[in-house]
Structure 1
Amino acid sequence: MPTTKHILVYSDSLTWGIIPTTRQRLPFEERWPGVLHAALNAGENGRIRLTEDCLNGRRTAFDDPYKPGRNALSGVQQVIEAQSPLDLVILLLGTNDFQSMHQHKPWHSATGIAALINAIRTAPVEPGMPVPPILVIAPPQLDNPRGPIGPKFEGGDVASRGLAQAIRQVSGDAGCAFFDSNTVTTSSTHDGVHLDADQHHALGVALAPVVAKLLADGAAD
């Protein structure tokens, strides 16, 4: 019987599945991790368990002045420890680094990703448990943030230009797999920030062969 492989997705509201212009949430099977989970388990990859740890407003390595606990770096090692053993960690973060309360450039956000990669690799997992490989996903480019969330992201579409390239660079430097979501989707056509249901589906489908290969490569090590 094949061994169950465990994937952790560590992300924000783009993955939590907030429905643009609302505070509602898409069901698991319609969120991209659910689409990915179904695709992987339908293939010949054995059994896959996927755990989501996704928090609305989560930044890479920065605090939200209005809501506590949104700094991904401050808690990631405990999450890795709690969920281990892991066969893969998927990071999709960066969008919230460009909320209007911040004055960040792509370099700042990408450096936050680099810090997260290091934290994951040095998490205090139990002896003998593996250090998981990491897949870093660049979020879709912000596009004229609008609707109820517009003021929160005002100017973020300009400030974040070049984010995908910056994240690609730090991922490559760290020896992590990288996927640019901009190759398969845009940000929401409704609010310019999140993902619409069809975009979740497109991203999940596109990631399936990428993740399957990473799991297969890991099993061969």
Structure 2
Amino acid sequence: MQHILVYSDSLSWGIVPMTRQRLQFDQRWPGVMEIALCASGCKSRVIEDCLNGRRTVWDDPFKPGRNGLVGLAQRIEMHSPLALVVLMLGTNDFQSMHAHNAWHASRGIAALVSAIRTAPVEPGMPVPPILVIAPPAIRTPKGSIAPKFTDGAAKCIGLAAAYRTVCDELGCHFFDAGEVVTSSNLDGVHLDLAQHLTLGHAVAGLVKPLLSIEGH
């Protein structure tokens, strides 16, 4: 049984667009991935550490605990040994209270990668490989979250390319979620049920050979 840590935000937590409800485990993309991997003979357990509003490395001025860098090393220590860490963050870096662009978010991802690789794991336990997933681009924000994501669509331009560059520099695996899904038509930010299913299967297909490679 191989353990995969998914470190993310509301897009992976499974918030139902335009509500405060949550999709079930087998509907959220990390759960879909776990089920697909196990069904293919790759026995895996996905550990979901997904917090609504989490940034890469910045604080939320209104809610505590949204800085993704704080406590990450201890989470790696806590859950080790890990076969893989999946990072899918960045969307909240573009909230209206931040003047960030894609480059800033990519530097945040680089800091998270460093924290994972320098975590104080027990002697002999592996430093886990890292898969960085660029979230789909923000579209026109709608509903109650619209003020929170004002100008987010412009700020996030170039995110996938910036993340790819960082992953090339740091030797991480990379996937652009925007190649297979878009942000919800309903709120312009999150993922609909069908998109969770699509993304979960796509990431499972990418992760399975990575686990096999790392396992040997």
**TM-score computed with the length of structure 2 as normaliser:** 0.99
Instruction: Give the structure 1 partner of residue 2 of structure 2.
Output: 5
- Aligned: 1:176 with 2:172: yes
**What do the CA deviations read for 1:123-150 (whole angstroms, capped 9, x no partner)?**
0011111000000000000001111111
Instruction: Give the structure 2 partner of residue 70 of structure 1.
Output: 66
Instruction: Give the structure 1 partner of residue 33 of structure 2.
Output: 36
Superposition deviation, residue 32 in structure 1:
0.1
Instruction: Give the structure 2 partner of residue 26 of structure 1.
Output: 23
Q: 1:61 aligns with which of 18, 38, 57?
A: 57
Q: Partners in 1 of 2:160 and 2:182 — Cα distance? A: 12
> Identity of aligned pairs, percent?
62
Q: Partners in 1 of 2:189 and 2:176 — Cα distance? A: 16
Q: Partners in 2 of 1:62 and 1:171 — Cα distance? A: 20
- Aligned: 1:112 with 2:108: yes
Superposition deviation, residue 171 in structure 1:
1.1
Show structure 1 runs of 4+ deviating over 6 A: none
Name the count of aligned residue pairs: 216
Instruction: Give the structure 2 partner of residue 80 of structure 1.
Output: 76
Q: Partners in 2 of 1:90 and 1:159 — Cα distance? A: 23
Q: Partners in 1 of 2:144 and 2:61 — Cα distance? A: 19
Q: Partners in 2 of 1:209 and 1:44 — Cα distance? A: 12
Q: CA RMSD in A?
A: 0.6
**What do the CA deviations read for 1:69-123 (whole angstroms, capped 9, x no partner)?**
1000111101101111100000000000000000001110000000000100000
Superposition deviation, residue 168 in structure 1:
0.8
Instruction: Give the structure 1 partner of residue 120 of structure 2.
Output: 124
Q: Partners in 1 of 2:204 and 2:45 — Cα distance? A: 14
* Counterparts of residues 126-141 of structure 1 (less than 5 Å): 126-141=122-137
Quick one: which amino acid aligns to residue 21 of structure 1? Answer: M
Q: Partners in 2 of 1:203 and 1:169 — Cα distance? A: 22
Unmatched segments (≥5 aa) in structure 1? none
Unmatched segments (≥5 aa) in structure 2? none
Instruction: Give the structure 2 partner of residue 98 of structure 1.
Output: 94
Superposition deviation, residue 44 in structure 1:
2.4
* Counterparts of residues 207-218 of structure 1 (less than 5 Å): 207-218=203-214
